[in-house]
Amino acid sequence: MPKYSVKVKWGKETYPGVEVNTEDDPVLFKAQIFALTGVQPERQKVVCKGVTLRDEEWGNFKLANNALVLVMGSKEEDVPAAPVEQTRFVEDMNEFELASALDIPEGLINLGNTCYMNATVQCLKTVPELRNALLNYNSNSGGGTAGELTSALRETMSMLDGGGAGGAGGAGGCAGAAARLLRALHATAPRFAERQPGGGLAQQDASECWTEIVRALQQRLPAAGAELNADRASVVEQYFGGTLDVQLVCAEAEEPPTRAKETFLQLSCFISQDVKYLQSGLRSSKISRLPAYLTVQFIRFYFKEKESIYAKILKDIKFPVELDVYELCTPELQERLTPMRNKFKELEEASIESALNTKNKNHGDSKKDTRPKKAMPYAFEDDVGSNNSGYYRLQAVLTHRGRSANSGHYVAWVRRGDGWLRCDDDNVTPVLEEEVLKLSGGARKERESGIGKPDARHGETKVSIRPEV
């Protein structure tokens, strides 16, 4: 019988009737203990009948109904540490910081070098169409390991939307959901279950995690309005998928170039001596279909043959809050983008004129125009999930701190409304936009990647239609 009801004892506290399923990885039981005690899994020593529970397998850790499980370890707050950032008092906060500080969403607990997974999930969560498709997914529809990973991500998204401790499941629910997501990720891609020499989980690459999760979702989440673009069978292909026009030239024979089309779910920004800005790192093949959300990966890791290690390029590469990719598109797509771009220009000019008139009426005292603005469609009518303007607005950034691909720490920076949040595992804090724009590498030793959606620029959709770079 793999399921047991045990008694957990931590210090003076006792928790009877804790359900344990030994078919799950031990890390899931440790996540349950975290939910009860607040002791992080990596700080726990779990003992039953003199046998210590390991992270990777149950081994000789034998359970029975009503067995007594002893937990040793202290909560992080029991070990005071110097604050990383200067204390901010309420009276010193601006309007955005105050609102954010009083309404912080839930984070995801680090189950032992799982920051790469947590940061990836927080970035994907910023895409409302993807999140809605996940929440509507039937977890009983099967689908092998891809179905298990999709179901686990659905549960995680639901827990995060629940609002943390005061919501559906609280911190314990998110801890359990994160553990089940990790288990599903290991089943889908066993390399993520690799261990360090000491037995703990090894650090993994967030870009590879993004690829595995998106691949599973591509198989399990059907497209919306598929009759408008039957060649895109999934939500992922609709909202993340683009098309490149590629010209192939044979270097060994004088033959005319061959043209072909390639699809992509993310673009790569290759870093060279001449690349200082994101746009210059993307000038390669021409884009013939722009997705609603544009994901760009900065290629910062490379293999050093002499040392046989993956090193990191620390060069500072700037990325903007608003990105215009018009010059990266084919002439045919540029022609299709022009009408919406002209509308944006007209609305921008009208907005400036309105602001000047308001300023003159108030004798030089300009006031913000609070009148509702017209929301613009961001996709072509015959192509659900496309971008019809070429404009994008920064929505999420995923960074890596450290010099090696096998170590360091991943953090997600996500837009919420007109502000930003820093999602460092289960520690979520508001930050200013200036802090996000400093994440361009160089001395900060960060690696960036992001997701993007077209910028509608005017109206209520300005913040809900957001790009990631």
Instruction: Give the type of residue at 157.
Output: M
pLDDT digits (tens, 9 = 90+) for 250-290: 667 677 777 888 899 988 776 655 655 555 556 667 999 99
pLDDT digits (tens, 9 = 90+) for 161-189: 875 433 334 455 577 788 889 999 999 99
* Model confidence at 460: pLDDT above 50: no
Give the lowest-confidence range in 54-68, 75-89, 182-196: 75-89
- Domain extents for the chain? 1-74
HEC sequence for the chain: CCEEEEEEEECCEEEEEEEEECCCCHHHHHHHHHHHHCCCHHHCEEEECCEECCCCCCCCCCCCCCCEEEEECCCHHHCCCCCCCCCCCHHHCCHHHHHHHCCCCCCCCCCCCCHHHHHHHHHHCCCHHHHHHHHCCCCCCCCHHHHHHHHHHHHHHHHHHCCHHHCCCHHHHHHHHHHHHHHHHHHHCHHHHCECCCCCECCCCHHHHHHHHHHHHHHHCECCCHHHCCCCCEHHHHHHCEEEEEEECCCCCCCCCEEEEEEECCEEEECCCCCCEHHHHCCCCEEEECECCCCEEEECEEEECCCCEEEECCCCCECCCEEECHHHECHHHHHHHHHHHHHHHHHHHHHHHHHHHHHHHCCCCCCCCCCCCCCCCCCCCCCCCECCCCEEEEEEEEEEECCCCCCCEEEEEEEECCEEEEEECCEEEEECHHHHHCCCCHHHCEEEEEEEEECCCCCCHHHHCCCCC
What radius of gyration do the chain's Cα atoms show? 25
Pick the CATH number of 1-74 from 3.20.20.220, 3.40.50.2300, 3.40.50.620, 3.10.20.90: 3.10.20.90
Q: What is the pLDDT of residue 310?
A: 64
Q: What is the pLDDT of residue 79?
A: 45
Could you give the angle at the alpha carbon of 373 between the alpha carbons of 371 and 375, nearest 5°?
A: 155
Residue 38: CB atoms within 10 A of its CB come to 17
Token reading at 344: 């944006």
The residues that are catalytic are 115, 409
Q: What percent of the chain has pLDDT over 70?
A: 71
Confidence class for position 341, pLDDT limits 50, 70, 90: very high
Q: What percent of the chain has pLDDT over 90?
A: 36
pTM of the model: 0.77
* Model confidence at 100: pLDDT above 60: no
Q: What is the pLDDT of residue 358?
A: 67
Residue 354: CB atoms within 10 A of its CB come to 13
Confidence class for position 80, pLDDT limits 50, 70, 90: very low
Q: Are 53 and 61 in contact (CB under 8 A)?
A: yes
